[in-house]
Structure 1
């Protein structure tokens, strides 16, 4: 299946040589194939297959050519799909520019013809490039809403590759958000992308969209998609592209086995985090018993810092409103603890989950270990342990990457 450019006119003169292939999509819920994405190819006289992605990406090709090719593909695909029980979703690429050009009339007219013959429109997923849609938000917002009234689902492809577009997803309200992870290597998953994909996971949940990770070519990429809220998965690691629809359980055993590994590993991570939380909790309870409540906050944080020296690099105290009451007790490169007064009276209530954690600590009367995040000053991944020392004061202990790295399950 080569990816080469050909003469567009050659393609248009031999539309009978267009061959649709089907790329399976797997659901995390039941590990079954719940749909197929159409991948059109041109089969030359020697029987070689050539991808047609270049055809739709070349803006120099007349729109009439692109529209005719899209409809040719649709006719071939829907004729095949109508012969199935239509239990699986059918993902179809459609040119967003062409859709906007006639407000979707030609596409909807074609689909209605098949709907009259029994096509279940709710099983169709029209897939569009997120970049172009975001640039013409006001036009697509209403057009997509209209298309969705027919039960047709909307998928936005290659989401998260450009900055500044995530906030627009809530306005477009797609049914499915597609994210490409093929460029992420096994041992090189930049934290920046993990943060973006985590935000996408939360956003998709809030707007009722399904997150689909495509381009999965390895065990590690599948694990990454699973950890970042993917409901649907697509890629050669799961199943290759086929010239026909394949059985729903074709890769069920493989995916189920991988999921069992994922859950076992995550349980170990959770236990490691709980063990660390309990270790710090016990140490703090011992330390706080020997601290005079009337001691100045700066004296308290130095005492705590020295007792927790083996697993922390910064200690400070805040009140329930987020204002820092103490200086920062910080460990220097020689391992000595010093006070940095710059942080005093800064407010940290803007941090995610600050108030939620304060309420939890007050109710549960115990400390909380944060998730991994990047410390602004050190520019490294850390965790913070927070613990109540009174009804309205809380101590925060920052744990360095070096310690987390040495402990299994804390990264």
Structure 2
């Protein structure tokens, strides 16, 4: 099908969807999915645009599928779209036999057609091996959970790969993800957008990486639009990226060398960021150590542990970086109050309460790693303090008083400010 390069986007429903399907007025677009650490194009996602019969006007996918749904033609349109994508992918397949085609399937039609072999027959007649086909499904749109599981099992047994799309958006069911055991999990743009700046999105992404690792799946970050987002994905454990940062969907996609150059740029920037973060972390730890050393020096000269509170208070008056501090005995029991120079009582949420003297901390990492693993110092990952509700890290250090062993725990405020990435 020859289409002129001059295209106008159709913004109104001024087309006959039956004729679009009958005349196969459908054009395949492709967007690359990049293995950043592998510095290669892992695959292409096949997308579709309609063309109004007798014109060059492009029909956006939402208008196309909305029109089909209104007149009950979703399944014929879905099949026609896959035909167009499979046909257009053949040339890329001939060039690179390892290239994957990410093929979208409207999961809602599984409820309608059940165990139909139509997709299998389509791929078989295309000459493309099932091992090169990734079937993208959105599990939240399938009402028949048993039918979806049967479909996934059947096609995995035929050699196809299964990807769950838009994970993290709307009502994605984490239990169903674990149950379906997909080969690939695609994280939705709603999680990726501004992930370099928004801390809670980073934590959600890390959790999804952990889940996919446990079920043996590969994670793909969708909708990456900036280099800083790409670097953050890499930092959080994602290695495969799709999005406008690398390329927008196109009907004349070429396996361009500049795409590989962009992966190298992201990796190089990430390496530079790691080195800068390591240097900053070392400087921060040095400052932490100096503060803790000063506090231990003050604690080690008291006559009795009941003087710990006053000494901690005097120390914390002199620093802005500390959220709060307290002392444990060798068995992990808190033997001072939780002392905060400026932040204690600032949190008005009732869920946050500072630990009192006598509380048992023996199951906490900052105790266990020091006493059971016989470490001298422990620095935690950032977490929300149950004392104040602030994001902090705990620096714990063993010290002695009158031949007895104690543990000083200092919660330092953690700003989680990302390092800037040069454009």
TM-score of the pair, normalised by structure 2: 0.79
* CA separation of 1:184 and 1:81: change in aligned 2, threshold 3 A: closer
| Corresponding position of 1:177 | 185
Partner of 2:392: 382
- Per mean C-alpha deviation after superposition, the further-off stretch among 161-170 and 36-45 is 161-170
Match of 2:211, SS?
helix
Displacement of 1:50 after TM fit?
A: 2.1
Partner residue in 1 for 2:217: 209
Greater Rg over alpha carbons, structure: 2
Among 98, 103, 107, the alignment partner of 1:87 is 98
> Structure 1 residues 101, 287: closer, same or farther in 2, change over 3 A?
same
Q: Could you say which residue in structure 2 is the equivalent of 1:51?
A: 60
Question: How far apart, CA to CA, are the structure 1 residues paired with 2:107 and 2:131?
Answer: 20
* Alpha-carbon distance between aligned partners in 1 of 2:155 and 2:89, rounded to the nearest angstrom: 20
Tell me the distance in 2 between the aligned counterparts of 1:146 and 1:298: 69
Q: Is the 8 A contact 2:398 2:407 kept in 1?
A: yes
Inter-CA distance 373–62: structure 2 relative to 1 (3 Å threshold): farther
Residue in structure 1 matched with residue 379 of structure 2 by the alignment: 369
Equivalent residue runs for 1:7-406 within 5 Å? 7=15, 9-12=17-20, 14-44=22-52, 45-56=54-65, 60-63=69-72, 65-83=73-91, 84-85=93-94, 86-111=97-122, 113-114=124-125, 118-133=127-142, 136-162=144-170, 165-181=173-189, 186=194, 189-247=197-255, 249-281=257-289, 283-285=291-293, 287-288=295-296, 291-292=299-300, 299-300=307-308, 302-304=310-312, 306-307=314-315, 309-310=318-319, 311-318=321-328, 324-332=334-342, 342-346=355-359, 354-355=364-365, 358-359=368-369, 362-363=372-373, 365-376=375-386, 378-389=388-399, 394-401=407-414
Q: Is the Cα contact below 8 Å between 2:323 and 2:392 reproduced in 1?
A: no
Alpha-carbon distance between aligned partners in 2 of 1:299 and 1:289, rounded to the nearest angstrom: 13
- CA 1:74 to 1:161, structure 2 compared with 1: closer, same or farther past 3 Å? closer
Please tell me the root mean square deviation across aligned C-alpha atoms, in Å.
3.7
Give 1:187 shift: 9.0
Equivalent-residue separation in structure 2 for 1:248 and 1:389 (angstroms): 60
Query: Aligned partners of 1:175 and 1:94: how far apart in 2?
Result: 16
In structure 2, do the counterparts of structure 1 residues 342 and 288 end up closer, same or farther at CA, with 3 Å as the change threshold? closer
Distance 1:9 1:357, change over 3 A: farther
54 and 304 in structure 1: CA distance in 2 versus 1, 3 angstrom threshold: farther
1:56 and 1:246 map into 2 onto residues whose CA distance is 27
User: Take 2:27 and 2:67, find their aligned partners in 1: how far apart are those partners?
Assistant: 20
Deviation at 1:368, TM superposition (A): 2.8
Partners of 2:32 and 2:39 in 1: CA distance: 12
Q: In the alignment, is the contact (CA less than 8 A) between 1:182 and 1:217 conserved in 2? A: no
C-alpha contact (below 8 Å) 2:324/2:344 kept by paired residues: no
User: Shift of the alpha carbon at 1:322?
Assistant: 6.5
State the 1:331 CA deviation: 1.3
Deviations 1:283-331 (Å, cap 9, x if unpaired)?
Answer: 5356436645996656336535644642312012457887644321111
**Structure 2 spans left out of the alignment, 5+ residues:** 1-7, 346-352
1:146-177 Cα offsets, whole Å, 9 max, x none, are 32112211111111124673343222211111
Q: SS of the residue aligned with 1:343?
A: coil
Tell me the distance in 2 between the aligned counterparts of 1:292 and 1:121: 70
Separation in 2 of the partners of 1:168 and 1:301?
51
- Deviations along 1:91-134, one digit per CA (max 9) or x if unpaired, are 111011212433342344324633xx74221111111124225x
Shift of 1:215: 1.3
Give the 3 Å change call, closer, same or farther, for CA 38–365 of structure 1 in structure 2: same
Match of 2:3 in 1: none
Three-state SS of the structure 2 residue aligned to 1:74 is helix
Partner of 1:119: helix, strand, or coil? coil
TM-score by length of 1: 0.81
Give the gaps of 5 or more residues in structure 1.
Answer: none
SS in structure 2 at match of 1:80: helix
Change (3 A) 1:57 1:348: farther
